[in-house]
Amino acid sequence: MITLRQIQNLTHRVRFTTERREPLPVVLYRHNSLVRRKLGNIDLQLQENKAVNLALAAPHVNGVVIKPGETFSFWHLVGATTARRGYRNGLTISSGHATSGMGGGICQFTNLLHWMVLHSPLTITEHHHHDNLDLFPDFNRQIPFGTGTSVMHNYLDYRVRNDTKQDFQFMVSATEEYLVGELRAEAALDVKFHIQETDAYFYEQGGEVFRHNRIYRITRSKATGNEVDRVLLIENDAHVVYDRAFVVAEILSERPRAAPAVR
């Protein structure tokens, strides 16, 4: 499949972004993603290895400029996450279950990029989900469920095309605690983007627990504050694969998205 993807890249004549520059002047959006999170009963060593993997990948993306007409490809820049390049075994997902694999945990990187891109006019041309699964309970979740990504070198990529008239830029670095990201541009936008989660709840069906929500992107004029566009990004009905005791904890919390009880 890797070879097939390489052939597709050549035949489709995609113009990939490769240039790096000093930071562009305008910060459109910034977000920090906690590197070490409690994920059920996952081995903590996998979290430590993930921290190494994220730190290795960050310099390959940091400073890259997406010019008009160009496509950002995560794997085109980062390359293979092999042991020879210093990557370690981290958390991966296979057949709906958590396991470990070389370069695991790198999807947290594309999660960060995707969240920033959702707050911009950039066009997402390739984005994969975790197959309608709710894999981990919500320990320190910072963004709505269902806004993540799934990547695997190199046939499950994360790609973004710049269909605007100005340059955009990713600035990404890894600290001991956070993966730090900024999306920059040459000039400020006349609109602002908001991501809204609605209709969020857990429910039971056929003896299994599922999680539902809808994610909208709302565009507002900076001049008037009026809503100029509202787009449904995704509606999730995800199978909860962790212990339902964690679901009960979610429902008993004060978060509004965990409304109806599981019977």
For helices 107-117 and 44-61, give the axis angle rounded to 10 degrees: 50
Is 61 within 8 Å of 114 (Cβ atoms)?
no
Q: Where are the domains of the chain?
A: 2-187
- At a CB cut-off of 8 Å and minimum separation 6, what does 58 contact? 109, 172, 173, 174, 179
- Taking alpha carbons only, the member of 36, 52, 111, 35 closest to residue 86 is 52
Is residue 125 predicted with pLDDT exceeding 70? yes
Is the pLDDT at 263 greater than 60? The verdict is no
pLDDT in tens, 10-45: 556 789 999 999 999 999 999 999 988 766 666 778
Angle, vertex CA 180, rays to CA 141 and CA 26, nearest 5: 115
pLDDT of 36 reads 83
Q: pLDDT value at position 112?
A: 96
- β-strand partners of 133: 239
178: tokens are 């956070």
Mean pLDDT of 99-106: 88
Measured in whole angstroms, the distance separating CA 59 from the mean position of its chain's CA atoms is 18
Model confidence pLDDT, tens digit, residues 59-81: 999 999 999 999 999 999 999 99
